[in-house]
């Protein structure tokens, strides 16, 4: 099939689809096109029913992203994600990894770029959650301390942690409620989603 090269994005488009492509092309290629002036997305103005949102929320508890059905397939999935992250340079963000990455996004406080990415992902997928401010007691190295997980989905607490330390493990072991740890393997596809949709500098989305 004969193809025509788009002068805006440089992609080769089939003759039969080229006219439609040019109506929407914004120079980012077929997979990242946005409607141009005068055109609207098919789902603009539509809302997700509460019943569907509840199903999504329940499905995400305990995993937050899809996993493969078998251990072998899961390892292959993680490897593919890791290779994609390295190739596209999507890594490098760590919780508490620097100043200037804290702030509010749509009224929700985020302590790091990882938390911001997690918040954006949940909001974009219609998942209901809240920032957690409740503190819990735990003992580490003979001292009484306080621990406050990051977020809550229903009655489940969410902790976003890029790496596990002895103190962090102690917090989780002594935690009295249901808690889900969101680590690097879970965060990589979330960050990839956010970067592809909002750009590498998504921390600029913080409220001024």
Residue 23: its pLDDT value, please? 66
Residue 37: its pLDDT value, please? 45
Buried-exposed string 63-94: b where 16+ CB fall within 10 A, e elsewhere: ebbeeeeeeeeeeebbeebeeebeeeebeebe
Q: What's the CA gap between 44 and 61, in Å, rounded?
A: 28
Give residue limits of the domains in the chain: 1-46, 47-208
User: How confident is residue 39, by pLDDT bands cut at 50, 70 and 90?
Assistant: very low
Return mean pLDDT, the chain: 74
Task: Please give the span between the terminal C-alpha atoms of the chain, in angstroms, as a whole number.
Answer: 50
Residue 24: its pLDDT value, please? 63
Answer for the pair 91, 83: CB distance below 8 angstroms, yes or no.
no
Give yes or no for residue 26 having a pLDDT over 60: no
Condensed to tens digits (0 to 9), the pLDDT of residues 5-22 reads 777 666 676 766 767 666
Higher-pLDDT residue of 70 and 122 is 122
Joined tokens for residue 202: 């998504």
User: Mean per-residue pLDDT for 59-64?
Assistant: 48
Condensed to tens digits (0 to 9), the pLDDT of residues 103-143 reads 999 999 999 999 999 999 999 999 999 999 999 999 999 99
Segment of 54-63, 84-93, 158-167 carrying the highest mean pLDDT: 158-167
Condensed to tens digits (0 to 9), the pLDDT of residues 165-175 reads 888 899 999 99
Least confident of 33-37, 68-72, 190-194: 33-37
């Amino acid at each position: 099939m004969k193809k025509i090269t788009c002068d805006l994005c440089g992609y080769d488009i089939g003759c039969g689809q080229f006219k439609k492509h040019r109506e929407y092309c914004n120079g980012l290629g077929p997979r990242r096109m946005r409607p141009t002036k005068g055109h609207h997305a098919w789902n603009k103005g539509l809302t997700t029913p509460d019943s569907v949102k509840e199903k999504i929320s329940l499905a995400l508890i305990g995993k937050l992203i899809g996993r493969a059905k078998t251990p072998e397939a899961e390892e292959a999935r993680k490897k593919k994600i890791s290779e994609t992250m390295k190739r596209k340079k999507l890594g490098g963000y760590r919780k508490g990894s620097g100043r200037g990455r804290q702030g509010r996004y749509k009224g929700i406080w985020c302590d790091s770029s990882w938390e911001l990415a997690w918040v954006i992902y949940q909001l974009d997928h219609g998942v209901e959650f809240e920032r957690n401010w409740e503190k819990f007691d735990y003992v580490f190295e003979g001292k009484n301390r306080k621990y406050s997980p990051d977020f809550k989905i229903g009655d489940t607490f969410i902790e976003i942690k890029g790496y596990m330390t002895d103190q962090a493990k102690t917090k989780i072991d002594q935690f009295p409620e249901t808690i889900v740890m969101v680590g690097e393997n879970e965060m990589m596809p979330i960050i990839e989603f956010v970067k592809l949709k909002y750009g590498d500098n998504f921390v600029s989305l913080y409220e001024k």
